[in-house]
A and B are shown apart, each in its own frame.
Chain A
Amino acid sequence: MRAGPSQDEIRRYNLGALLRHVHILGPTSRAQLTTLMGLNRSTIGALTADLAAAGLIREEQPRSHRGAGRPSLVVSPASDLVYVLAFSVRVDRVVAARVGLGGVVLDRRELIHPRGALAAAEVLETLGGFATEMRRTLPGTAICAGAGAAVSGLVRADDGLVSLGPNLGWHDEPFGERLTGLLGEPVAVGNDADLSALAEHTRGVASACSDVLYLHGDVGIGCGIISGGRLLRGHEGFAGEAGHMVVNPAGKPCSCGSAGCWETEIGEQALLAAAGRPPDAGRAGISALIDAASRGDTEAQGSLRAAGDWLGFGVANLVNLLNPQMVVFGGTLRDVYLASAAQVRGRLNRMSLRASRDPLKLRTPALGEDLPLLGAAELAFTRLLADPLASGV
């Protein structure tokens, strides 16, 4: 029988919690931390001293001070020195970045490629090259806290094996293992929609929500689910493949081998094809389609209305199933949602349960186009935030 957590465990937990607050909020006064964590001032002082000695944070006098009394020291993350390597592999680009504690992008490289299949070996070579370049310019005292990668595909949680990346053309690709070998640093790999959900939940539009559904659109549809404040992963990490929910049994064949999947109705190729446009035009093609619809092109309007309706159809089912506080539409779905919200809302309001629908918020991402990359960085920081003073960091 265990007698409860030991002194060491409590201290490790508190160090992690304090570092997480500073990581998310940026410069924070000791007084604020005292209130946030509900610990007494001397404990906060001891914790910040330990973290500062490890080079993870800095303490400074506040720049401006109002009110009576000695000003409380401001605790800031050592963003310039403590960093992670973050990678993102998507159908149209490969991105690598060095992200500092606090979520600051310090250095970023990307390679844009035409949409479609992409050999894993090529991606690894590109990412390895980027990592080498970024490491070359590092200050000598910099501390690497980990590495994370976001891949659009089914990613096995324990070893980063990409079981299926239908739109990259990957099958059982040991991506995590190979990237780890290449960097000489363990790389945590996750599904890009999952990690986007994590990023918006950590410091984006959904930061006040414990239950979030993030939907990303490009060629396929990705979905990340935060439930009760945690990422829903499923048994091996494959949960949340909402793009492959069958919504239309009489529908078109899907890249996954099934037919009538949600992404065959609301993916960018479906929208473009329905409007009689070249299906490989990508996000720019979707923008052009929405523009044409706003100028009265009836084919474009019809395609957009149908997509809005199917989007509402799928969201209604997911909302009934998961009862999220917020649904966030990213990638091409951001554009589609904003341009066909009347259809999305109409279908959602007719199909979803009232109790789940009433408090639901529909939003677009706050963190911009690098969302999966920022999510990969958050994943990479997990280890440091769980145990800030562990050896090796």
Chain B
Amino acid sequence: MQPVVELRGINKSFGPVHVLRDVNFSAYPGEVTALVGDNGAGKSTLVKCIGGIHPADSGEYLFEGRPVQVHSPRDAAALGVEIVYQDLALCDNLDIVENMFLGREHTRGLVLDEASMEQLAADTLASLSVRTVRSIRQKVSSLSGGQRQTVAIAKAVLWNSKVVVLDEPTAALGVAQTAQVLELVRRLADSGLAVVLISHNMNDVFAVADRIAALYLGRMAAQVPAAAVTHSQVVELITSGASS
């Protein structure tokens, strides 16, 4: 199977700090790839390289097998790579539809095409089997943590994206909402997207991941199928960069 996104030999330094060293990473369609690692291992930097926020110093970025140049978030979005950050980047004072189309509104002549945006937002939420939201014209400030996460994820898949990166989507959620978000993550991948999940929670990782990529001090310690490792082996990879 061909990866949708493949990074080869990525290096990234901030001044004297060498954050990523010859990192290889692949994300496959229809699969959840969990990206795990201790604080400071380079997870966020790797994600920012994927999303074009920090272009890599050296290395190759392949999208569907073709080498591409990704220098800005716009380049990444144009390829179909969307990133949902931990803070979700939603505007509390806007409703769900306005948030989903923020900065990329549909227009008809000089006015906003509210009807088409509303329809597309509703279709997207329905395609994700989201039933918890009462009205899509609700202000985001009135939503629960899990619902916000859902809206942020729906916003990412609205744009025919091929890769969705989720940074700690279950952090700060209650048990019931965590379960719903995990099921949503799984559905995204089952619908054909390549999903990258950053998480510190091993249960979340094993509940949905097909592959686990472990970073250790800026190097990729291993990228292995979830069916081939145990919990303790992954913890070893995270804490020592190798497993027995």
Q: Write the residues of chain A forming the contact surface with B, with a CB cutoff of 8 angstroms.
A: 205, 287, 290-291, 294, 334-335, 337-346, 349-350, 357-358, 360, 362-364, 366
Contacts and interface: CB of A to CB of B under 8 A. Distances in A.
Interface of B is mostly: helix
A368 to B, nearest CB: 8
A294 B204 CA distance: 12
Contacts of A291: 174-175
B227 interface: yes
Interface string B211-236: 00000000000000111111110000
B136 interface: no
Nearest to A290: B175
Nearest to A293: B175
Interface stretch (B19-27, B46-54, B150-158, B176-184): B176-184
20 contacts: A205-B190, A287-B175, A290-B175, A291-B174, A337-B207, A338-B182, A338-B207, A339-B179, A341-B203, A341-B208, A342-B205, A342-B231, A343-B231, A346-B230, A346-B232, A349-B227, A349-B228, A358-B227, A366-B129, A366-B187
A34 B208 CA distance: 37
Most buried by B among A287, A338, A340, A363: A338
Given A334-B179, A342-B203, A345-B206, A363 B186 contact: yes
Contacts of A360: 227
A50 B190 CA distance: 37
B114 to A, nearest CB: 19
B132 to A, nearest CB: 12
A358 B231 CA distance: 17
A33 to B, nearest CB: 23
Contacts of B203: 338-342
B160 to A, nearest CB: 17
Given A338-B203, A346-B232, A357 B227 contact: yes
Contact of B202 (A342, A349, A366): A342
Contacts of B182: 338
Given A340-B203, A343-B231, 16 more contacts: A205-B190, A291-B175, A334-B179, A338-B203, A339-B175, A341-B205, A342-B203, A342-B206, A345-B226, A346-B206, A346-B230, A349-B230, A362-B207, A364-B179, A364-B186, A366-B129
Contacts of B176: 287
B164 to A, nearest CB: 19
Nearest to B131: A368
Contacts of B175: 287, 290-291, 294, 335, 339
B30 to A, nearest CB: 11
Given A337-B207, A338-B207, A346 B174 contact: no
A363 B231 CA distance: 19
Contacts of B202: 342
A167 to B, nearest CB: 24
Interface of B: 129, 174-176, 178-179, 182-183, 186-187, 190, 202-208, 225-232
Most buried by B among A205, A335, A349: A349
A366 B225 CA distance: 24
Most buried by A among B129, B174, B183, B205: B183
A341 B206 contact: yes
Contact of B225 (A342, A358, A363): A358
Nearest to A343: B231
A364 to B, nearest CB: 6
Given A287-B175, A366-B129, A341 B207 contact: yes
Contacts of A340: 203
A342 B186 CA distance: 16
Nearest to A348: B227
Contacts of B179: 334-335, 338-339, 364
A338 B179 CA distance: 6
A229 B129 CA distance: 25
B172 to A, nearest CB: 11
A140 B14 CA distance: 75
Lowest 8 A-B CB distances belong to which pairs? A341-B207, A341-B206, A342-B231, A346-B230, A345-B206, A342-B202, A346-B231, A342-B206
Contacts of A349: 227-230
B197 to A, nearest CB: 13
A372 to B, nearest CB: 19
